[in-house]
Chain A
Amino acid sequence: EAQVTQNPRYLITVTGKKLTVTCSQNMNHEYMSWYRQDPGLGLRQIYYSMNVEVTDKGDVPEGYKVSRKEKRNFPLILESPSPNQTSLYFCASSLSPESRNSPLHFGNGTRLTVT
């Protein structure tokens, strides 16, 4: 089944403790992206990747890192989480950004709480 898989679904951590949220897609998609969703603010893009070893900042990249060493994986890294990063995070992928009719496929989300 074609899908985007995020892990974990729920994560509670403390301020300053490094964490990684994994994202994997099995559709051979070139484009992958991370979003955070907060009440009243919709989906805001954190980082995106056009292909392996090609990443760029979205609208809210501060406090986050990403890597794209393999086409299928796009982990989100919080080196020193803070309470303002408590949010619902979504990973998404699409076939190719150059193809303007490539819709995004989303994972089921990771709910992160930083205390």
Chain B
Amino acid sequence: LAKTTQPISMDSYEGQEVNITCSHNNIATNDYITWYQQFPSQGPRFIIQGYKTKVTNEVASLFIPADRKSSTLSLPRVSLSDTAVYYCLGYTGGFKTIFGAGTRLFVKA
């Protein structure tokens, strides 16, 4: 199973770019890497997903190196509303899912 490791917390200021890196231990060949965002008292929400190289959508970019042992979620020009907990998930074989403890991002004015 793919265990994930992320920083516990990060601080940033409005307008800055934030990069959160996740390490995936033993990620399987056919696993995708998925990131979720969670606000207090809400369920996690899908942000972005990728398999290799770079993926970009209207919310974020995801960078995955060739060895796929890590991934970096990039949030461009964060705002106060981006304050949340961010989880990376190795979508695992065997159909179990393993979430890390998440990264608490705090955006300051």
Pairwise interchain contact B101-A41, C-beta atoms closer than 8 A? yes
Say how far B34's CB is from chain A's closest CB, in angstroms. 6
Residues of B within 8 A of A102 (CB): 91
A42 with B32: in contact, given A90-B43, A104-B97, A109-B41 (CB under 8 Å)? no
Partner of B99, one of A42, A50, A101, A107: A42
- Answer whether A101 and B100 are a contact pair too, CB < 8 Å, given A106-B45, A107-B43: no
Q: Which of chain B's residues 90-109 have a Cβ closer than 8 Å to chain A?
A: 91, 95-102
Check B101 against A104 for contact (C-beta < 8 Å): no
Asked if A87 is at the interface of the complex by the 8 Å CB criterion, the answer is: no
| B39-61 residues at the A interface, CB under 8 angstroms | 41-46, 49, 51
Cβ of A85 under 8 Å from chain B: no
The answer, yes or no, to whether B63 is at the interface (CB within 8 Å) is no
Residue contact A43 to B96, C-beta cutoff 8 Å: no
Known: A50-B95, A58-B97, A109-B43. 14 other contacts (CB 8 A): A42-B87, A42-B101, A42-B102, A43-B99, A44-B99, A45-B99, A59-B96, A90-B44, A100-B51, A102-B91, A104-B34, A104-B36, A104-B44, A107-B43
Lowest 10 CB-CB distances: which A-B pairs, in order?
A106-B43, A103-B46, A42-B101, A43-B99, A97-B95, A100-B32, A42-B99, A106-B44, A90-B43, A42-B102
